[in-house]
Structures are given as C-alpha cells and as structure tokens.
Structure 1
Amino acid sequence: SLQVECNKRYAFSADETLKIIQSLYEKKLTTYPRVDTTYLSDDIYPKVPAILKGIAPAYETLVPTLLESAKLPKSKKVFDNSKVTDHHAIIPTGVKPAGMDANEAKVYDMVARRFIAAFYPDCKIATTSVLGEAGEVEFKANGKVILSPGWRVVFEDKLPDEKNDKEEEKTLPDFQEGEEGPHEASLAEKWTSPPKPYTEATLLRAMETAGKNVEDEVLREAMKENGIGRPSTRASIIETLLKRDYIRKERKNLIATDTGIQLIQTIQQDLLKSAELTGQWEKKLRDIEKGEYKSQAFMQDLKHMVSEVVFAVKNDKTGELCPLCRQGRLIRGKQSYGCSRWKEGCSYRAPF
C-alpha cells in the first residue's frame, strides 16, 4: 500500500501519508484517496492516454514511449471491475503537477510512477539452479538474471540500494555441466535473533493479513478480506495507540509501553486479543455490506462469543488457593489449571 511504501522510503507515518494524499486530492492532482483496492475499473482505460499526456512534462524519459505505442496494454492485474467497489485505486488525474511542497512531491511521484509502470512490459527474468557436490555432500544454488527490465526502468533510480544489493547477490556466474574446480569452504558462526520490532510499514502489512506474515502479493490480496481495518482507518488505529500511550516510537520502530504490556497481560481471554478473529469480523461486516451475510447471524455469533467469554471470566480460578497443597496459588496452563508450586512437587491439575 501507499502508506507502507512511504514509511519504508521516507519514514512518513501512516497518518502523515494519509494527510498528504488527501492534500493532493484537494489540489486535484490525484484521485480519491480513501480506497480499499489496488485495481482500476475498465472505464478508466480510455482515459489513460489523456492522463499520461497531462503528466508527460514531469516524466519526459518515461511517458513519451507509451504515447507513441499504437495501443496501451490492458492487464487483468491492473483493470478488474470485480475488485473495485465505490472507488478505484489512487492514480494521477492528468492535471499538470504543480504547487506541491517537498513531501507532497515525493508522494505524488510514487503514485505517478506506479501508474506509468502499469503500462510498461513485464520484467523478464531467467532463473538458474546449479546442483553441485563437494565430497559426498550435495549443494544447490539458485540465482536469477534480468534479461529485460521492462517496468523496472520506471523505478531505476528509486529502488533502495540494499534491495539492489540483495538482487545482485542472487546472480550466479556461468556454469558448464560437469565442470570441476577447487572449492574453499567457509563456516560462519551466527546466533538466532528475536523478531525485529514493528515499524509502521511492517505493522500496516501485518494488519492487512491479521498478523499473518504473507509476502506473496496474490495471497496477501486474497487475505485482505480478513485484515484489520481498512487503508483509510489503519492510520487512525496506530495514532490512537500512540495517543493512549500503549505504544511509542523509537526512531522508525514501534515499541510497546509498560501501559500497553499491562493491558494485554490483564486481558486473560486470548480470544479478545486475537488479530485473526478481528479480521474475520471485518470480513463478515464487509459481507453484510455486500448483502452476502445476514446482520442477525453476525449479532447471534457475537452474543454467543460474549456469553462464552463472560462464563469463562466468572469461572476463572486463577489466583485461588491450591486445594491440594494449601500453599500455592492456581495458575492457568494451556489445557488446565495447575499449582504455582509445581516445581516443589505439587501435582494438582484441574481442567478448564
């Protein structure tokens, strides 16, 4: 999403990005900003040449090539009426870009380049796998070579250096089948490290998939139906957490505060902290909006869930005196209650 990319590249917060893209919309430079899709409707296709012509002066090395072509490509990955509801993806309006401050220019450039790239050819890549053997141990190396950059030329000077470096590392030299040669082995000692703290970019991505780490674009798109919030509301969710002092910013990282940690520890019911459950609720609410799910059924599900949670809270024995040893306190395990003095030998167990 635009918010994710702006945070990665320029460290803009989700709320900042939303305000900037709203300003660009009010200046009639980009289309409606509060959208939930990355697709365009078919009725936009005939307007594309005029839009490209309008922004051509700002992209002299990229747009003329497209305008010279007899017919612009129309990919299903870009134009799909079934993926568009009230509004299509954010694109330039075709008004000559002017009157922007530095941050607005950065965001506008991202929107414009993404739009331009949609009409460039595919990037062609040759993938190579090499099987080798050292002693009696088999090895496999995978690499790729870009045969034709296609749409990538639109972002040539915009890709982060570290991303380019990673891709260069995947390029393999030419090998001949059966060739042999000396090989010097090296052993690197490494330690496992804890997961990195969330940034706004990675948290927004996690919210899209209800906490599941999904890198595949197609799968992520399918899972967005079960995400937390919408592109237009996720920024306000993060801002609310910051204002209530549940999280704080340390450079680009988002760190849970003591207040936030205590809140989560206070909520004993895992169900109430489930990102996946929230995602399922969002999906059902959207289905109700489309007329594909009954609101009465949704309310019945909620009542049933609330009844179960209330029953569990009322019957929670955590902290009570252990009836077996009369010294320890009951603690909640994964499947049953146990005694806090289990290390001292108390064997008390009781199912939930």
Structure 2
Amino acid sequence: MGISGLHHQLKAGQKKINVSELRGRTLALDGHALLHRGALSCAEALAEGEPTTRYAHFAVQRVQMLAAKGVTSIVVFDGAPTPLKRQTNNDRRAVRDQALADARQWKLECERRHAAGEDRDDAIGEMRKAYGKTVRITPVMVEVTKRELEKVSVRCLVAPYEADAQLAALCVLGLADGIITEDSDLACLLCGLRLSRCLLVTKLDRDGTGDLLIPGDLTKLITDLRRSKFAKALAKALRVDARVAARCFVQACVLAGCDYYASEAGLGLVGAAEHVCAARRLPDNERIEKAVKRLTNVEGARAAERAFYHAKVWKGLPGAGVVPRCVALSELVCPSRVSVPPPGADIDAEVGPSLNFEACER
C-alpha cells in the first residue's frame, strides 16, 4: 500500500509478542513479503536468470516455525496488477533496472580488484545491496513456492489482484484471526473496515517475536498512541462516531500518499489527518475535496480511496467443492457499520474486473 509515515505514527501502539502466545489461532501471511525476504538470499542468481528455487525456502521455514508454535498459516500471494497502481509499478521497474545496472558495475569492479590483488569487501557489499534492489516476484516464483508450501499442508491462495485486500477479506469472513506482514500499511485497511479483533503482526523474526497491533479497535489505538498529533486528530473524529473516524483514517492515509495516489507537496500523514478530521462533520463522500483546499488532483484521491474499499477479492477459500467467487471487498462488510465510498462508473478500470477462480488457477 506504500502509505507514507504510517508505520512511524503507529509505533507507540505496538507491543512485542511471541507468536506462541497466539497458539490455536489462524493467521494469514503476506506471501509476497515472504518471497521478497527469501529472494534476497539469491538475488544475484534471479537477476542474472540463473536457475534457483532458494527463495521458496524462507516461506517454508517461516510456516514451519509458526506450526511448531501452534499457529495455522494461510499464505496469500498477489495476483494480477491493479490498474490504478500502473504508475507505481512503472516507477518500481525503473528503480530495479537502475539497480541491475549498478550491480553489474560493482560486479565488474569486484573482478578488477580481485585481479589486481586489492581489497574488495566494500565493493562486494555494494554489489549485494544493488542486487537486493533488483528483486521482482514473478508468477513462476509464486507457483514454485505455492507447491512447496502445499507439500507441508499449508493452504495457499493467489488473490485476484492485491494480496492486502485478500488478507483483510479472510479476516472479514472469519477465516483468519489476523495477518502477518512486513509493515503496518495494512492497518489502514483494517481500521477502515473496523475489524476490531483482527491482529496485525509485523517485523516477525525467526524465533517468532514480532510487533502486535490491533488497528481496527480505534478507541484503544488512539489511547495507545499517547496523544500524538495523529491520535489527537483522530480522537476528534471519534467523538462524532467510530464509523466516521474509521473513514477519516483511510482518507488521511490516501492524502498522505500511497501506491494509488502521490501525495501533494507538503502534506504528510499528520497534516492530512488534521485536515480530514477538522472536516469530520462534513458528509463522508465530500470530505476529501473540501478538507484540503489546495488539492489539484481531487479525482485521483477519490479513486485511491475507492480502491481501498472496492478491491476485488475471493469470497472464501477453495476446497471441499467450494469455488470462491470474485467480489468487491465492500460487499463483505455491513453498511451500517462501515462507511464506504460509492464505487463510481469506472471502478473496474481502477481496480480491475471480476475474475473467474478456476480460469485463474489454470
């Protein structure tokens, strides 16, 4: 989701936990985050097209560690690219291309120093760092890792589009008690959907220790954030009602900048929250355009907010004759509990059309 500044603002609300304390729970894991961690161990081979499946080992080791601590895993991978993320994906591709050029340059420097009998430790470090920035998760890597996980009886699911939305959907449907991912960006979605019991575990290490947050319980979250400027802004919205506050949280995250929308100059997460929550008594669907007068791309911000709520997800898990249906995430929530922006006429052009599960599996 790429929400600027969110992890820093939520840090005070996190607490250290070992997943052994979650024995008996089912947690949904961000498969692409696992793959990215695993791919760092063989980044050079992947970048240069050399055959390797080492990237799958990290994911298998992680779910085996969780199983040993009594936690059941469901691993969710990204599916097709979301149309609204096209610019973000193009930017990331350019970064990877530059990193590959840098890595090859450092590799040549390593070879030169080796031939000259010179110390090359710093050059090797720079080369590895650059290769690490080239990592791109491919459908082949997903399929290989999925097969390895299924060998150890772990359920896997490739989302129609964004894994983040699918992870949240599993919690909405009661199929998972929480989510394990690398950062706190999913807090935006869990708060927006008011998933007050959904656990968000981040920064998990090999021993099962990580940071726990329950972002859907906005009252507790605001208390835990110890009266930061971000929390004070949200508290004003919460005094109207929790439904309004949850929507304000998402709108602040959008305006601060995310994968779907580039923040406008000078507007960070705290400033965005203060603007949005100052307009808390305005109708939810008018708040973005009226909260920040200087916005030049109002429709872009609206589209980004729609993408959070109307992302396509599978309704359920496959198995025992069940074939999941592709629906909008917004269809899974109760309208009286969750404020949802209208989808708009071009929603499929923004988040992608509905897909057929069996066709995607082939």
How does the TM-score come out when normalised to structure 1? 0.25
- Relative to its length, the structure with more helix (as a share) is 2
Q: Which has the higher contact order (CA 8 A, sep 6+)?
A: 2
- Of structures 1 and 2, the larger Rg is shown by 1
How does the TM-score come out when normalised to structure 2? 0.24
